Structures are given as structure tokens and as C-alpha cells.
A = this chain, B = another copy of it.
Amino acid sequence: MEPIRIFITGGTFDKAYNELTGELFFKDSHLPEMLKLGRCNLDVQVRTLMMIDSLQMTDAGRRLILDRCLACPERRIVITHGTDTMENTAAVLGKGLAGKTVVLTGAMIPYEFGSSDGLFNLGTALAFVQTLPPGVYVAMNGRYFAWDNVRKNRELGIFEAADNNRH
């Protein structure tokens, strides 16, 4: 079984509700709990790189993610990321990486809400990362997209091929 690295960067996935202020915030990642819930028996190493809303993701943040992907020994990497700028981070990784399979995924609804799509997406991401050839991909809505052909449709709240004719 080939080892898989999971890098956590925050995003809706991990938003929690602060009952004293009534606001959403980031506490600890739910990833370990979700892997346990899914009875995941893969050889995964989880590391938190940052805990931010992807609207706050900077060039330096993306460079950090790229560096960690380059430096880690694993050739299969899943990254949890906010959906708003997931395609931008995917582009930075797509241009800077070779020889590794990287899958970015996220959620539209926080995991703490019962109706989260996060557990489903995590399942797809961990499956795609095992089977897709080297490259950088986004896994959302049950589908996977190459980093240079994906965009978030903000009206519908789904991901789609940037070039709908190609897909």
C-alpha cells in the first residue's frame, strides 16, 4: 500500500461555530475524525499547513503548499482547501510540480453541519489520488478536473470544466 500525504489548509471543511460570538471560525481539523468515521485503512500522514479561508490564501501561502508537496517523500498527495480559490492553488501546483499525483478537495458545507459534502468528497479524493496518473487535479461533486481546466461556478455552487466543450 503506497503511502498518501494529506495536507490541510482550512476552508469550509473545517469551519466550526463559536457559540460565544456566533461566528464561524477554525479550530482543529476534522480530518482525523472523518478518516476514522470512514473506517479508512490507508497509510495516510496528515499534516496541517495552515487554517484559513481560501479567500485569505496568498501567493506566499501557495508557495508554501508547493514547497511541502515538493519536499514530502510521498508521491500521492491530497490537499483540503477552501473552494473559492481552489483553482488558483491548483494552477500554482500544476505549473510547479511533476511526477506526483496531487488532488485538491474541499466542501461547500462545514463538516460540523450534518449535511456536509465533505466526507463524500474526501472519499473521492483519496480514491482519485490512488488511481490517477501524475498531475494536479481538483476533486469535487464526485468528479475530477485537471488543474488547467476547472472553475468554480459561483451561481450554482459546483465545479465544472473551464472549457465545457472539451469535457
Q: Please name all residues of chain B whose beta carbon is closer than 8 Å to the beta carbon of A124 when the two chains form the complex.
A: 123-124, 126-127
CB-based nearest B residue for A114: B114
Residues 101-117 of chain A, each 1 if its beta carbon lies under 8 Å from chain B, else 0:
00000001110111111
Contact between chains at B109 and A123 (CB < 8 Å): no
Q: Does A131 contact B (CB under 8 A)?
A: yes
Q: What are 27 inter-chain pairs, A to B, with CB distance below 8 A?
A: A1-B143, A17-B109, A17-B110, A22-B53, A22-B84, A23-B24, A37-B115, A37-B117, A38-B121, A38-B141, A38-B142, A39-B108, A39-B142, A39-B157, A39-B158, A41-B142, A42-B142, A112-B114, A113-B114, A119-B119, A119-B120, A119-B123, A122-B123, A123-B127, A126-B142, A127-B127, A131-B144
